Structure 1
């Protein structure tokens, strides 16, 4: 009988541990940052600024879970849909304010776009501090080893959605300084490629500009995470 009970509890424990990770639903509103953070989560980055052009300070947060779990993540080769990784989940949360003294109100909760701490390669955590400029939220990541990369994405709140308006993908060699900087303007639909070298001063040897044939702007809902959008053959963002 004891053996049967032990086996039963072992099966139950294994079943519980095998359950997929479930993200919490963040509070719809709150008067302080502390009131917006669920149990077992912490703020690893935050920025205040006007994101909807009403001259009131809004709020963007990046939250991280307290321990690693198994996550199914999109992989950036345009062939592998999902891979399973063990890492600490992250959430991007954006809150608006209707008045200077009012509560923060949830506008966006995105559980996928923010790179995790293990996705930066030899350089470690790829997350760089967020910025708010010209009512746009700038998200930045950096990683790699000898060849390093920097990714910047500017999202703007347009037509009640977050649309990617600008981005750049910079790759450079830490030893030689050789670099390639691809700059994308999705509003004016242009792509600029700058090659040269980095060091004490940036040297731009060649600048090439061409039109972008993009029909619709990407949003948080249609952009899984960095490195998964193949804009052109072998041109990932």
Structure 2
């Protein structure tokens, strides 16, 4: 019964987030709302949005500093007052990640963007998915872009987790090459971790408890599938690493 209640509560918190996501602005889905080329990071930010984070690194190994941006809608009506649970208010504005390559002739060219992978905060009891992630929520290192998101709720769910998505350019497309998930049940201490390399098709899993001195690891092979493009990944909380 406790497990069933926990899953139901988690689903309710997730559904609350999805409800707010459904109501967010669709401005960025319209062709041309985010510039295809710009001279700086600010040039990719449309009206009514702001630049929240910018990171640099060489994605295509041409020696030039490419960049990944997190831009966020700036709608005051989406700053929501909390109820008697959780924070006094929370920010329900959506985020978009924009990835652009530095051009030898100057400026940047957009190659990919994703409006959904960073979940929208949908409840005063939910931590911000970026703030709750470990340091370095968005990075570019050694030709790989990584995004880290986290889930934690002060009420309505016992579960908490951190997820990392890893992307690399292949044939001019930014593709998912790796996925990691670290999941803990705060009530029981149950621990589950998953790490997948989609290039080698190797999957590592570990199940145990946070009080265990040693958690055994198991390795397996996954079915070969086409690598999924960055812009085709939906809500990061809903991502199923085995079925996409």
TM-score of the alignment, normalized to the shorter chain, above 0.5: yes
**Aligned ranges for residues 108-187 of structure 1 at < 5 Å?**
108-118=112-122, 122-127=125-130, 128=133, 129-145=137-153, 146-174=158-186, 177-187=189-199
CA contact (8 A) 1:27 1:106 kept: yes
CA contact (8 A) 2:179 2:196 kept: yes
| Distance change in 2, residues 1:189/1:94 (3 Å) | same
Asked whether 1:220 is paired with 2:223, we answer no
Which segments of 5 or more consecutive residues in structure 1 lack a partner in the other structure? Answer: 1-17, 71-85
Q: Does 1:32 align with 2:35?
A: no
**Structure 2 spans left out of the alignment, 5+ residues:** 1-22, 79-90
Shift of 1:117: 3.0
Counterparts of 2:207 and 2:195, CA distance in 1: 11
Deviation at 1:55?
A: 1.5
Q: Secondary structure of the residue that 1:172 maps to in structure 2?
A: strand
Structure with more contact order per residue of length (Cα contacts < 8 Å, sep ≥ 6): 2
Q: Which has the higher strand share?
A: 1
Q: CA RMSD in A?
A: 2.9
Secondary structure of the residue that 2:161 maps to in structure 1? strand
Cα drift, residue 90 of structure 1:
1.8
**Structure 1 segment 1-237 matched on structure 2, within 5 A:** 21-23=26-28, 25-67=33-75, 87-99=92-104, 102-118=106-122, 122-127=125-130, 128=133, 129-145=137-153, 146-174=158-186, 177-198=189-210, 203-232=213-242
Distance 2:166 2:72 in 1: 22
Kept in 1, the 8 Å contact 2:113–2:230? The answer is no
Give distance in 2, aligned partners of 1:113 and 1:156: 16
SS at match of 1:63: strand
In structure 1, distance between residues paired with 2:140 and 2:180: 16
- The structure richer in helix per residue is 2
Judge conservation of contact 1:196–1:205 (CA < 8 Å) in 2.
Answer: yes
Contact 1:91 1:110 in 2 (8 A): yes
Q: How many aligned residue pairs are there? A: 198
2-side partners of 1:90 and 1:136: how far apart?
21
> Distance in 1 between the 2:183 and 2:99 partners?
29
